Amino acid sequence: MLNTDIYGEFETAWCPGCGDHAILKSLKQALAILEIEPHQYVHCSGIGQAAKTPHYLRCNCFNGLHGRSLPPAQAIKLANPDATVLVSSGDGCSYGEGGNHFLAAIRRNVDITVIVHDNQIYGLTKGQASPTTSEGSKTKSQPWGVTNQPFNPMAVAVAMRANFVARSFSGMMEHLTDMIVQAVRHPGFSLVDVLQPCVSFNKINTFSWYKERCKPIDPAHDPTNWEAAMQVASVFGQTIPVGVIYKNDRPPLGARYKTLAAGPLHERTPNLAAVERIMQTFA
């Protein structure tokens, strides 16, 4: 097992008490357990507090537009199958602005791991309701309460039969580390939704609020049972199940894509003459 010092120590812009600190520590611990060195993986993100995660890691990274981290992450993995590719995103970034990319990524099933820092609020832009904000919650931009039904990422991912679907809580670091380790090891698209407090802009879903409700999933739960997984994924309220909700063994896109059968794209010599001919068709 590697020493987590290998991933560096950086000053962060996160608020004291933000759940992002624990997620970053758990991520480093998971990478160390997996013995993935900084040069062996790529970390992608979009915009938001969660998206700053790769700024605080010694790694290869791609920081893109709001909600647009999944397309480059999938492309990187398809071009370089030897690389471990992770994505850090927020509930607004992945389930709001990047919602369609989220659905498309589940369908494609490229072998990447997506860690969503889910604090039920837009923290970077000072506290607007996000897709996962509970109905009735009062925010700066919804002073009379949110009128929309919250998005349930677990139920959507299970309904679409994503390869690996798990939930954890930033206050359960050992549990969170294990979820990330399992997600990276599982082939195909893996989602880890991490509940976390936003100490500045969400005064409802606090650390103690989550701590009272987050309970490990019954050990008897069979995550390969789709119907049972849908039932677990639908539970969110006084009790919030955390753990591996669903998983299956659908082959990742890299194993099904004929173009990649000849070897990794990044090792091939591009046919510049063919590229020129294609470009000329657009002239």
Q: What is the mean pLDDT of residues 205-226?
A: 97
Per-residue pLDDT, 264: 85
pLDDT at 173 over 90: yes
Report pLDDT digits (tens) over 75-127.
Answer: 999 999 999 999 999 999 999 999 999 999 999 999 999 999 999 999 988 89
Q: What is the mean pLDDT of residues 185-202?
A: 96
Cα 70 to Cα 9, 108, 135, 172, 189: the distances in Å are 26, 11, 28, 26, 11
Q: CATH no. for residue 247?
A: 3.40.50.970
Phi first, then psi: what are they for 73, rounded to 5°?
A: -60, -45
pLDDT at 258 over 90: no
Q: Return the minimum-mean-pLDDT range out of 76-90, 161-175, 200-214, 255-269.
A: 255-269
Q: What is the mean pLDDT of residues 133-140?
A: 92
State the residue range of the domain holding 271: 4-281
Per-residue pLDDT, 268: 86
Alpha helices by DSSP H, listed for 88-149, are: 91-92, 99-108
pTM score of the predicted model = 0.94
Structural domains of the chain, count: 1
Contact 4, 22 (CB under 8 A): no
Per-residue pLDDT, 254: 86
Per-residue pLDDT, 193: 98
Across the chain, what does the average pLDDT equal? 95
